[in-house]
Amino acid sequence: MSDRLAILTDGLLHDSAAKTGHGVLRYGTREVTCVVDPVHAGRRVVDVKPFCDHDAPVVADVKAARELGADVLLVGVAPMGGRLTPEWRQLLLEAIGLGMHVEAGLHTVLADDPELAAAARSAGVRLRDLRAVPDDLGVPLGPEHPIPARVVHSVGSDCAIGKMTVTLELDRAARERGLSSVFVATGQTGVAIAGWGMAVDHVVSDYVAGAADRLVREGSQRGDLLWLEGQGSLFHQAYSGVTLGLLHGSSADALVLCHQAGATEVGDLARTPLPALPGIVAVYEQAVAWVRSAPVAAIALNTAELGAEAARALCAQVEAETGRVTDDVVRFGPDRVLDAVLSTLG
């Protein structure tokens, strides 16, 4: 598929709902020609979302994107429920009519949609479903077939707090040190960034652990230090199943716990309180130990809502309370957390 992307954020470039677009802008290797977002049209990405640090222009519609040379439209928003909306359907059909390939990580399978599939065939373009998974998945091979690599798995106290970002930052730092390091994607945004992986939230529940097992085995053919992206949280009623499947299927040697600074309850379920961080560490270490022992090697705090001085003080406080190296890998750099992980791995 071509490397000239137009990322559709449709008014949400500034919002965390556009996490797929943000991830590709910050970590992807393909050329981003522009972002399609009528609310922010006429600006540059870096002016709307400084975290992305990308100077691509923002345009109003797919026609303008095509005129700039884009030939792939990537849906960069992860909406609640992951379904294709009627408004987006028209945008995708317009892009296809302009000769653009379409890429999306929705639960709506583009290739199975009769209208979109027919339009793509007529235009001679491709539909790529980032959430598509193999149809031959099974259960893990088991401990009698060890993984020939070291596996580090990011886990979290909640959803949407930066597990993918932390994993990508640690992988990048490890590669900069010359290590044979690989990011293993388990969500549609990670797949869009890495170009391989599997969106495990699209896997039949019986086979989530098997999907994790397959991913780390494939990753071991690419490098010997694997960073498996976490999903959901053991504390989140809606998504704890996929979290546990990854935890038990990944054969992790160490965990990195991600946490939103100051959070005391699950964000989407305000009546679900969180334990203090030492308790969260204990829960994850106990749950993974049901099949394989793997310590929490470090804690990655998301301190975006704090000032720098308060963020550093909180990191020091959490480190003292938990006995685990604690830092914000985006704000203060990944080196301390990476050092702690490598020390744990031995």
pTM recorded for the entire structure? 0.89
The C-alpha atoms of residue 207 and residue 201 are separated, in whole angstroms, by 11
**Mean pLDDT computed over 240-254:** 97
Q: Which two tokens stand for residue 266?
A: 């699950």
* DSSP 3-state of 6: strand
CA distances from 82 to 41, 109, 134, 281 (A): 25, 10, 19, 30
The C-alpha atoms of residue 205 and residue 176 are separated, in whole angstroms, by 36
- The 8 Å CB, 24+ separation contacts for 205-209 are 205/241, 205/245, 206/139, 207/137, 207/138, 207/139, 208/241, 208/242, 208/245, 208/246, 208/249, 209/139, 209/140, 209/245, 209/246, 209/248, 209/249
CA atoms within 13 A on the CB side of 125: 23
Q: Who contacts 253 (Cβ-Cβ below 8 Å, separation ≥6)?
A: 150, 151, 152, 294, 344, 345
Nearest by Cα to 300 from 343, 250, 257: 257
Q: Which two tokens stand for residue 129?
A: 């479903």
In the chain, helix, strand, coil percent, each to 5? 40, 15, 45
pLDDT band at 269 (very low <50, low <70, confident <90, very high): confident
- The per-residue pLDDT for range 120-134, each reduced to its tens digit, is 999 999 999 988 898
**Beta bridge pairs of residue 228:** 153, 184
Domains parsed from the chain with CATH numbers: 5-129 (3.40.50.720), 150-345 (3.40.50.300)
Running DSSP on this structure, what letter comes out for residue 265? B
Nearest by Cα to 189 from 36, 346, 78, 289: 78
Per-chain mean pLDDT for the chain? 94
pLDDT band at 234 (very low <50, low <70, confident <90, very high): very high
Q: Is residue 196 within 8 Å of 186, Cβ to Cβ? A: no
- The per-residue pLDDT for range 305-340, each reduced to its tens digit, is 999 999 999 999 999 999 999 999 999 999 999 999
pLDDT at 262 over 60: yes
pLDDT band at 198 (very low <50, low <70, confident <90, very high): very high
Q: What type of residue is 17?
A: A
The C-alpha atoms of residue 156 and residue 228 are separated, in whole angstroms, by 13
Rounded to 5°, angle at Cα 223 from 227 and 54 = 60
Q: Which helix (H) or strand (E) holds 67?
A: helix 62-67
User: What confidence score (pLDDT) does residue 324 get?
Assistant: 98
Lowest-confidence segment of 76-80, 91-95, 182-186 by average pLDDT: 76-80
Q: Who contacts 86 (Cβ-Cβ below 8 Å, separation ≥6)?
A: none
Lowest-confidence segment of 3-12, 57-66, 289-298 by average pLDDT: 3-12
pLDDT band at 257 (very low <50, low <70, confident <90, very high): very high
Residue whose entry in the numeric block shows the structure tokens 């027919």: 118
Q: Is residue 76 within 8 Å of 48, Cβ to Cβ? A: no
User: What confidence score (pLDDT) does residue 227 get?
Assistant: 98
pLDDT band at 197 (very low <50, low <70, confident <90, very high): very high
